[in-house]
Amino acid sequence: MSNGDDAPDDTAEPDEAADEETALSADTLEARLNDVESTLEAAETEATLDEVEEDLNAIEADLEAADLPEPDEEDEDAEDPRAELEDRVADLRDQLEDERGPYVEDVVEVVEEASATVADTRWTEDGRPDVAAAIEAYLSETGDHLDADLSAPDEGLETLADALDQAEATVAESGLHPDDDAETIAALIETADTLTDDLEAAEEWGDLTVREQLSAEGFYDVLESENRKDFPAEWNAIKIYEQQGEVEPILKSLDTFDSDFMEENALDALWRMGPEEAFDEMHQRAQKRNKMPVKILGKIGDDRACETLHDFIDGDGDAALQKITLRSLGEIGSEESTQPVANRLDADSYEVRSAAARALGLLGDTRAIEPLADVLADDEADEVRASAAWALNQIGTERALDVVSEYADDRAYIVQAEAEKAV
DSSP state string for 211-222: HHHHHHTTGGGG
pLDDT digits (tens, 9 = 90+) for 155-171: 788 888 899 999 999 99
Nearest residue to 393 (alpha-carbon basis) of 377, 410, 376: 376
- Provide the b/e sequence for 365-400 (b: ≥16 CB within 10 Å): beebbebbbebbeebeebbbbbbbbbbbbbbeeeeb
Global pTM value: 0.55
Beta-strand (E) ranges in 158-295?
A: none
Selected residue with higher pLDDT from 386 and 260:
386
Residue 335, pLDDT > 70, answer yes
pLDDT digits (tens, 9 = 90+) for 41-95: 887 777 888 888 898 999 999 989 888 888 877 777 778 888 899 998 899 899 8
pLDDT digits (tens, 9 = 90+) for 381-408: 999 999 999 999 999 999 999 999 999 9
Spell out the long-range contacts of 286-291 with Cβ–Cβ below 8 A and sequence spacing 24 or more. 289/318, 289/321, 291/320, 291/321, 291/324
Selected residue with higher pLDDT from 42 and 289:
289
Q: Binning pLDDT at 50, 70 and 90, where does residue 310 land?
A: very high
Q: What does the pLDDT read at residue 74?
A: 72
- Between the alpha carbon of residue 172 and those of residues 103, 168, 175, 253, 330, the distances in Å are 10, 6, 7, 43, 60
Among 170-184, 268-282, 377-391, the minimum mean pLDDT is found in 170-184
Selected residue with higher pLDDT from 153 and 220:
153
Q: What does the pLDDT read at residue 95?
A: 86
Cα Dmax for the chain: 127
Selected residue with higher pLDDT from 208 and 50:
50
CA distance 360 to 314: 16
Instruction: Give yes or no for a contact between 114 and 164, defined as CB atoms under 8 angstroms apart.
Output: yes
Strand pairing partners for 204? 123
Tell me what percent of the residues of the chain surpass a pLDDT of 90.
51
Instruction: Give yes or no for a contact between 115 and 161, defined as CB atoms under 8 angstroms apart.
Output: yes
Q: What does the pLDDT read at residue 22?
A: 59
